[in-house]
Amino acid sequence: MTTSSLALLLSFLLCSSLLSFASYKAEARRFISVSSLISKDLFDSMFLHKDDSACPAKNFYTYNSFIHASKRFPKFGTTGCLATRKREIAAFLAQISHETTGGWETAPDGPYAWGLCFKEEVSPASNYCDSSNTQWPCYPGKSYHGRGPIQLSWNFNYGPVGNALRFDGLRNPEIVSNNSLVAFKTALWFWMTEQKPKPSCHNVMVGKYTPTEADAKANRTAGFGLVTNIINGGLECGIPDDSRVHDRIGYFQRYASLFNVSTGPNLDCENQKPFS
């Protein structure tokens, strides 16, 4: 185990040790809803410009849809102690903010106040159909470009997420950019679901990630940077000073501050090898 991974693990252990045994058991029995940790006012303060007329997703990403979608994944934002739960929510919102950002360096209120501005990829370079994937075959005439908060892409993601959430992701991928609740559910599905050799983003952020031998050799240490690696490591990780990685970190730092929690170590992935 690396020093940085040990530090993250110790932070989770310390988080738990702050509770007495009796109170810890009571905490474990009590379901803590996401809405008890992030109010509508806090949500609106994070996404100051998501409903501006300049944003194509105006009035699409609602607080109610986010909260309702989170109930489909009861371990999201409810695992671990209070700081861990808040940190996971902040990390998730930071990642989807980068994926959908409409901000720029000199934007009003800063570049990190413009998350959830887009609900669909602009001018996709292709239809994102992997024809070699026979398990989730592309449907004629359909495009599997980025849609929703996580910018879900490729038929091999649309197929299984539709299967998990009970909609036809291959024949009706457009629902991800037409239905706010479905959109948030797809993002949370991606966050919560392990796709080997990748761990789930959730397990990384709540301290349940155990590096394999291959992970250790690739320096894939626990932290926000590993979540970036899971989401888009093939394009962004292993690259010194990547602006996209910095944008994700900037959102995370802002949201963690609003939640009054630390970000934890290993924010970037410049020294990590992407997953194969």
Write down the domain spans for the chain.
3-9+32-120+180-259
**pTM for this predicted structure:** 0.91
- Which residues have CB under 8 Å from 30's CB, separation 6+? none
% of the chain exceeding 90 in pLDDT: 88
User: Do the beta carbons of residue 91 and residue 252 sit within 8 Å?
Assistant: yes
User: Do the beta carbons of residue 23 and residue 29 sit within 8 Å?
Assistant: no
Give the residue from 194, 174, 186 showing the smallest Cα distance to 70: 186
Residue 250 predicted with pLDDT over 90: yes
Give the residue from 25, 151, 26, 162 showing the smallest Cα distance to 97: 151
The 10s digit of each residue's pLDDT in 41-80 is: 999 999 999 999 999 999 999 999 999 999 999 999 999 9
Catalytic residue among 88, 99, 121, 236: 99
Residue 230 predicted with pLDDT over 90: yes
Q: What is the mean pLDDT of the chain?
A: 92
Look up 99 and say whether it is catalytic. Answer: yes
The 10s digit of each residue's pLDDT in 73-103 is: 999 999 999 999 999 999 999 999 999 999 9
- Mean pLDDT of all residues in 120-133: 96
**Tokens 């679901």, located at residue:** 193
May I ask the CATH class of domain 3-9+32-120+180-259?
A: mainly alpha
